[in-house]
């Protein structure tokens, strides 16, 4: 892989991180809402006079370095971020934002990772078959209903799934990451229980996302089928399975990976809302609780950390592309 | 082109027609609904709270005393308005960026096209959450539309740019350029009319992106607190755990309307896609 491409791609990644950090720094300072004052108001909701409030606000502003000139705050902020110091939660003081995220993150990574992988694989397989002439018509009619599902946001589909499979039939739990009374540990019972809780949230992502992958793959397969090398392969009398896999799928699947890199942000945004609907203990729920309790540092911390995580995932996918497709020369 | 020819085309493009009809029906719901239903019922405390569906309240009432049918009739146009405003802004920014980048190329193109690509990979909802939580409490439908339009320009930029890139090399554009027509005039007079279906498709895409983002923000509780948009209705539904209490008449209608909006927009864009790519017609 040419080193120039890698360097440029890593550069873009760093640029994204820096831009996200700067937005996180700038927006709260441009906003009329003063997080320190807001949180103090919450803490001291009873009996603090205007004068006392001002003194308190000043003390805390000094404590958080908010009385420094802006450029100095900015540099401190960037160096804090570089050390993964995202500040303290206001609601759960003195818990550090980074620690809250570390607890919640594995849930999100497992849920989103598995759901994305499943919907990508299943959708791509269905799409490939939909474009293959040998396949019976029954598979081909699966497309339109799948596509209709993909028009529904994940979490709304999730609500419907909860109603059908947790409220009406009670096949799956209503929500949460594991049953009440269990402690998160690496035992088979706990993992089984966690899996049972993960099925509906994952299903709402997979069902809603499959259609898009199927449609993309079908379109690419149709394009590839018009290529000369396909005609040649048929003329040579190669067996249809080989033409399908090695000539058709092998070529049609590459744009799917490009789309995968582009869709990570969308999927994670959607998954955050799925977690809220299912009260799933990932970062989405952490974000929701933070928004409800005006816990600004947690909001900004979660947003920043997710942007970094997705940037990293996209970077890895992009760096893998030239390996998957040797024709790509950057 | 005569009207009857247009009608004939419209019928030929069934998918496009279906989408247009669905969206038109939803717009009509907001326009005609108030004639049949007293929409003052969408205000807090206008009815007895927590009623099950009855003749008087076909979809029941919620915990703070809103008639849920009125909420839907008031909320649907609000959500569509957000989509419309943000779609126009998104298409506007996307067109400017796409035409400038695609037509003039060079540094401007690298920057604009690079920015669009980078913003596409970033989880936009999170940026919106940061913006919206900083302005929390002061949000109304218009400001929310402005916030979500921050996400609606990237796809238009990409689509338009790539179309302009190929169109730039066509004969008639070259002729116009060599005869000394200014870049701005070529873009407006030669390119835009030929790109109309693409612009329309980009607009529909931008509207869909914006509505999706607005509903997401609202479901997080970051929407207008006093206006019953569809997303806010879902937020209150979640807030009062209506799904787990089996209050179907409360949580299901806003979801159905949202699904109809997306299915309608999707059909329109798929229909437009067929007009643009005749190859797709035979295969589907």
Which B positions 68-127 lie with beta carbon below 8 A of chain A? 114, 118, 120-127
A190, two tokens: 């706990």
- Residue A29 reports pLDDT greater than 50: yes
Residues B206-210 have a mean pLDDT of 92
Q: What is the pLDDT of residue B234?
A: 92
Residue B255 sits at the chain A interface (C-beta within 8 Å): yes
- Residue B214 reports pLDDT greater than 50: yes
Taking CB atoms and an 8 Å limit, are A311 and B122 in contact across chains? yes
Whose tokens are 């699904």? That residue is B259
Q: What is the pLDDT of residue B88?
A: 96
Q: How far is residue A301's CA from residue B130's CA, in Å, rounded to a whole number?
A: 10
How many degrees, rounded to 5, is the angle at CA A47 between CA A45 and CA A49? 110
- Residue B258 reports pLDDT greater than 90: yes
Which of B124, B138, B262 lies nearest to residue A269, judging by beta carbons? Answer: B124
Q: How far is residue A175's CA from residue A198's CA, in Å, rounded to a whole number?
A: 9
Average pLDDT, chain B: 85
A17, two tokens: 């991180």
Q: What is the pLDDT of residue A323?
A: 80
Taking CB atoms and an 8 Å limit, are B259 and A167 in contact across chains? no
Average pLDDT, chain A: 83
DSSP chain B: --HHHHHHHHHH-HHHHHHHHHHHHHHHHHHHHHHHS-GGGGSTTSS-SSPPP-SSSTT-B-TTS-BHHHHHHHHHHHHHHHHHHHHHHHHHHHHHHHHHHHHH-HHHHHHHHHHHHHHHHS-HHHHHHHHHHHTTTS--HHHHHHHHHTTSSHHHHHHHHHHHHHHHTSHHHHHHHHTT--HHHIIIIIIHHHTHHHHHHHHHHHHHHHHHHHHHHHHTT-S-TTS--HHHHHHHHHHTTTTTTT-HHHHHHHHHHHHHHHHHHHHHHHHHHHHH-HHHHHH-
Residues A134-138 have a mean pLDDT of 70
Q: How far is residue B218's CA from residue B139's CA, in Å, rounded to a whole number?
A: 11
Query: How far A282 CA sits from the closest chain B CA (Å)?
Result: 15
Q: What is the pLDDT of residue A4?
A: 82
- Residue A127 reports pLDDT greater than 50: yes
Q: How far is residue B264's CA from residue B17's CA, in Å, rounded to a whole number?
A: 9
- Residue B282 reports pLDDT greater than 50: no
Domains of chain B, CATH where assigned: 16-278 (1.10.3720.10)
Cβ B259 vs Cβ A152: under 8 Å: yes
Look at B12 and B115; give whichever has higher pLDDT.
B115
Q: What is the pLDDT of residue B283?
A: 42
Look at B253 and A323; give whichever has higher pLDDT.
B253
Backbone angles phi, psi at B136, to 5 degrees: -60, 140
- Residue B133 reports pLDDT greater than 90: no
Question: Mapped to the 3 state alphabet, what secondary structure does chain A carry?
Answer: CCHHHHHHHHHHHHHHHHHHHHHHHHHHHHCCCCHHHHHHHHHCCCCCCHHHHHHHHHHHHHHCCCCCCHHHHHHHHHHHHHCCCCCECCCCCCCEHHHHHHHHHHHHHHHHHHHHHHHHHHHHHHHHHHCCCCCCHHHHCCHHHHHHHHCCCHHHHHHHHHHHHHHHCCCCCCCCCCCCCCCCCCCHHHHHHHHHHHHHHHHHHHHHHHHHHHHHHHHHHHHHHCCHHHHHHHHCCCCHHHHHHHHHHHHHCHHHHHHHHHHHHHHHHHHHHHHHHHCCCCHHHHHHHHHHCCCHHHHHHHHHHHHHHHHHHHHHHHHHHHHHCCCCCC
Look at A17 and A51; give whichever has higher pLDDT.
A17
How does residue B2 score in pLDDT terms, banded at 50, 70 and 90?
A: low
Q: How far is residue B1's CA from residue B152's CA, in Å, rounded to a whole number?
A: 32
Residues B224-241 have a mean pLDDT of 89
Which of A12, A264, A291 lies nearest to residue B220, judging by beta carbons? Answer: A291
How does residue B284 score in pLDDT terms, banded at 50, 70 and 90?
A: very low
Q: How far is residue A19's CA from residue B188's CA, in Å, rounded to a whole number?
A: 34
Sign of the CA dihedral B176, B179, B184, B188? Answer: negative
Q: Which of A293, A312, A302 is nearest to A92 (CA)?
A: A293
Q: What is the pTM of this model?
A: 0.84
Sign of the CA dihedral B167, B172, B177, B181? Answer: negative
Q: What percent of chain A has pLDDT over 90?
A: 12
- Residue B236 reports pLDDT greater than 80: yes
Q: What is the pLDDT of residue B233?
A: 92
Strand partners, A88: A96
- Residue A48 reports pLDDT greater than 70: no
Q: What is the pLDDT of residue A17?
A: 87
Q: Which of A309, A151, A263 is nearest to B155 (CA)?
A: A263
Ranges A45-54, B74-83, B203-212: which has the least confidence: A45-54
Ranges A125-129, A175-179, A180-184: which has the least confidence: A180-184
Look at A110 and A135; give whichever has higher pLDDT.
A110
How does residue A206 score in pLDDT terms, banded at 50, 70 and 90?
A: very high
pLDDT in tens, A78-93: 888 887 777 777 777 7
B249, two tokens: 């008449």
Q: What is the pLDDT of residue B262?
A: 92
Residues B175-190 have a mean pLDDT of 88
Taking CB atoms and an 8 Å limit, are A20 and B255 in contact across chains? no
Query: How far B233 CA sits from the closest chain A CA (Å)?
Result: 12
pLDDT in tens, A289-313: 888 887 888 888 888 888 888 888 8
Q: How far is residue B201's CA from residue A283's CA, in Å, rounded to a whole number?
A: 34
Query: How far B77 CA sits from the closest chain A CA (Å)?
Result: 19
Q: What percent of chain A has pLDDT over 70?
A: 89
Residue B18 sits at the chain A interface (C-beta within 8 Å): no
- Residue A162 reports pLDDT greater than 70: yes
Beta-carbon contacts of B47 under 8 Å, excluding residues fewer than 6 positions away, are B41, B57, B61, B65, B66, B67
Q: How far is residue B253's CA from residue B39's CA, in Å, rounded to a whole number?
A: 16
- Residue A202 reports pLDDT greater than 70: yes
Question: Which of A10, A90, A257, A265 to probe the B interface (max B CBs under 10 A)?
Answer: A265
Question: Which of B110, B134, B242 to probe the A interface (max A CBs under 10 A)?
Answer: B134
Look at A251 and A326; give whichever has higher pLDDT.
A251
Which residues on A lie below 8 Å from B215 (Cβ)?
Answer: 153
Residues A27-45 have a mean pLDDT of 67
Which residues on B lie below 8 Å from A301 (Cβ)?
Answer: none
């Amino acid at each position: 892989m040419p080193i120039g491409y890698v360097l440029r791609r890593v550069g873009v990644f760093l640029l994204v991180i820096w831009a996200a950090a700067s937005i996180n720094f700038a927006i709260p300072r441009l906003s009329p809402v003063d997080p320190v004052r807001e949180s103090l108001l919450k803490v001291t909701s009873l009996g603090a006079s205007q004068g006392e409030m001002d003194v308190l606000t000043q003390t805390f502003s000094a404590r958080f370095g908010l009385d420094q000139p802006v450029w100095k705050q900015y540099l401190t902020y960037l160096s804090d971020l570089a050390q993964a110091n995202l500040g303290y939660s206001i609601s759960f003081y003195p818990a550090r934002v980074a620690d809250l995220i570390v607890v919640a993150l594995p849930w999100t990574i497992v849920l989103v990772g598995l759901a994305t992988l499943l919907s990508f694989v299943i959708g791509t397989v269905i799409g490939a078959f939909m474009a293959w002439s040998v396949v019976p018509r029954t598979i081909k009619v699966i497309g339109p209903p799948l596509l209709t599902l993909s028009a529904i946001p994940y979490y709304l589909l999730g609500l419907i799934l909860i109603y059908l499979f947790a409220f009406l039939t009670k096949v799956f739990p209503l929500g949460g990451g594991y049953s009440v009374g269990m402690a998160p540990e690496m035992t088979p019972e706990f993992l089984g229980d966690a899996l049972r809780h993960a099925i509906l949230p994952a299903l709402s992502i997979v069902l809603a996302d499959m259609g898009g992958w199927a449609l993309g793959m079908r379109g690419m397969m149709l394009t590839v089928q018009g290529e000369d090398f396909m005609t040649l392969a048929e003329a040579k009398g190669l067996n249809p399975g080989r033409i399908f896999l090695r000539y058709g799928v092998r070529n049609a699947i590459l744009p799917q990976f490009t789309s995968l890199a582009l869709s990570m942000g969308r999927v994670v945004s959607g998954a955050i809302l799925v977690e809220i609907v299912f009260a799933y203990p990932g970062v989405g729920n952490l974000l929701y609780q933070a928004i409800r309790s005006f816990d600004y540092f947690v909001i900004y911390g979660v947003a920043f950390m997710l942007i970094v995580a997705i940037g990293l995932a996209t970077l890895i996918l992009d760096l893998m592309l030239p390996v998957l497709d040797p024709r790509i020369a950057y | 082109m005569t009207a009857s020819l247009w009608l004939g085309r419209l019928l030929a493009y069934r998918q496009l027609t279906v989408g247009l009809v669905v969206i038109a029906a939803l717009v009509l719901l907001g326009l005609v609904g108030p004639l049949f239903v007293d929409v003052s019922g969408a205000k807090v405390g206008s009815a007895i709270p927590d009623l099950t569906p009855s003749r008087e309240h076909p979809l029941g009432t919620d915990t703070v005393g809103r008639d849920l049918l009125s909420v839907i009739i008031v909320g649907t146009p609000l959500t569509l308005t957000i989509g419309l405003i943000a779609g126009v802004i998104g298409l506007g920014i996307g067109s400017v960026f796409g035409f400038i980048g695609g037509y003039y190329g060079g540094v401007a193109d690298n920057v604009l096209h690079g920015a669009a690509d980078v913003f596409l990979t970033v989880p936009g909802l999170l940026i919106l959450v940061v913006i919206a939580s900083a302005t929390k409490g002061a949000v109304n439908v218009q400001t929310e539309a402005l916030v979500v339009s921050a996400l609606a320009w990237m796809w238009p930029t990409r689509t338009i740019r790539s179309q302009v890139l190929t169109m730039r090399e066509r004969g008639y554009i070259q002729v116009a350029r060599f005869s000394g027509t200014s870049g701005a005039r070529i873009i407006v007079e030669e390119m835009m009319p030929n790109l109309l279906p693409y612009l329309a498709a980009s607009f529909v895409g931008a509207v869909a992106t914006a509505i999706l983002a607005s509903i997401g923000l609202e479901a997080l509780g970051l929407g207008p607190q006093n206006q019953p948009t569809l997303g806010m209705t879902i937020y209150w539904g979640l807030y009062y755990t209506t799904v787990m209490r089996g209050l179907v008449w409360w949580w299901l209608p806003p979801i159905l309307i949202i699904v109809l909006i997306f299915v309608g927009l999707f059909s329109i864009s798929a229909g437009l896609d067929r007009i643009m790519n005749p190859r797709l017609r035979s295969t589907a």
